[in-house]
Amino acid sequence: MNVDNVRHNNIVKLHDGIDSDHHFYDECMFAEFLRLERKRSERSGRPFLLMLIDVRKSFLNGNGKAVFEKVISQLNLYTRETDIRGWQAHQSVIGIIFTEVGEHDRDFILDRIMQRVRNGLFYVIESKEFQAIKISMKWFPNGDDSEPDHFYEANPLFYPDLLEKAVHKVFARYAKRMLDIVGGIAGLIIFSPLFLIIPVVIKLTSPGPVLFRQERLGRFGKKFVFLKFRTMAVDNDDNLHRNYVRNLIDPENGSCAGSQKPGDEGSFKIRNDPRVTMVGKFLRNTSLDELPQFINVLKGEMSLVGPRPPIPYECDAYKLWHMKRVIEVKPGISGLWQVEARSSTSFDEMVRLDLKYIREWSLWLDIKIMLKTPWVVISGKGAY
């Protein structure tokens, strides 16, 4: 698709009778440009900025058309031809996509353009109307340190295509959720004897809690508490794993040393991890440590099938395209990577398998993966 041709061939007459001569697009076209800009940014690594101007109250008060024209006249003074303007939400929120924004441009846009737009609107719009307008800025990728608890969360505004896809696949996703609930309950019932035996064995062989709780990232990067049977000694240092994962994701980093450097068969897990207990090693080799995740599935935080949920510090080393495995679907107990490669592959190949699963997802694919999972667990291949 030639973006310039699409933009110039799709200048629209807005539904309320406003004739736009400013390359102002309707909601569908603006969503498409937002999707294209996001994909361009994922590939190039260059950020872009989305400005949102909420004029909902003006339209509810009956003077939306006049306010709209004044807002657009001011935006024309402080935006470039390459910036994309349109309805982010029709007759509610105006969106402007500032393209090709370098790191050195961030302060200029945030401090200069936003202030100029505010000042310009203040002089051309009555005080009451001005107070009804809300202006906000959204960076892609997320670069806002003001809310550290939500730092890893992806803003759904940048993913209109995913939201649209979810609408079109409502029945399939409802069926997937029902499969998760039935499978989660069945898993808890089938393995209920182990839920009694394993905690006793862990308690008798190692001091500390039975369950290991860890913060992980779910769909759209939302944090949740991930459950496993504890396989390590308590109060261990996670720097070993941090360095290992950093080196695995970026092999050029070279921060790991000796046996803890990824390499053999592209192992995704640390072999002979000194933090793992004897019982923990058995639980890992048999994947029995994963059983409590049926609880995560029933709570809706995970699915039976999907990409494995990352630890937040793993995502610090991610490239933008890696994040797609986190954003687009719920994480799962098992997945395409686990049944086709498990720990014997490189990180990039693991991500590509996750993205393949996302592209080709169907209920039948989930069922096939679930049918393959027991054999993978029994064989123990790639489990450390």
Domain holding 72: CATH number? Answer: 3.30.70.270
Q: What is the pLDDT of residue 1?
A: 47
Q: What is the pLDDT of residue 199?
A: 96
pLDDT in tens, 329-355: 999 999 998 888 665 677 888 899 999
Sign for the pseudo-dihedral over CA of 306, 308, 311, 315: negative
pLDDT in tens, 1-38: 454 444 444 444 444 444 445 568 889 999 999 999 99
* Pair (191, 286) in one structural domain: yes
Q: What is the pLDDT of residue 265?
A: 43
* Pair (116, 242) in one structural domain: no
Q: What is the pLDDT of residue 251?
A: 73
Residues of the chain scoring pLDDT < 50 = 1, 3-20, 145, 255-266, 384
Distances (CA, A) of 206 to 109, 199, 311: 56, 11, 24
* Pair (172, 135) in one structural domain: no
Q: What is the pLDDT of residue 253?
A: 60
- What range defines the domain where residue 57 resides? 3-140
* Pair (228, 373) in one structural domain: yes
For the purposes of burial, counting CB atoms within 10 Å of the CB of 151, is it exposed (0-12), middle (13-18) or buried (19 or more)? middle
pLDDT in tens, 253-273: 654 444 444 444 445 566 677
Which amino acid belongs to residue 52?
L
DSSP letter, residue 109 = I
Kindly report whether the peptide bond that precedes residue 141 is cis, defined as omega within 30 degrees of 0.
yes
Q: What is the pLDDT of residue 240?
A: 78
Q: What is the pLDDT of residue 354?
A: 93
Q: What is the number of residues in the chain?
A: 384
Kindly state the tokens that stand for 74: 């001011």
User: 241-268: buried (b, 16+ CB within 10 Å) or exposed (e) per residue?
Assistant: bbbbbbbbbeeeeeebeeebbbeeebbb
| 129 lies in some domain | yes
* Pair (174, 125) in one structural domain: no
| 32 lies in some domain | yes
* Pair (204, 276) in one structural domain: yes
| 114 lies in some domain | yes
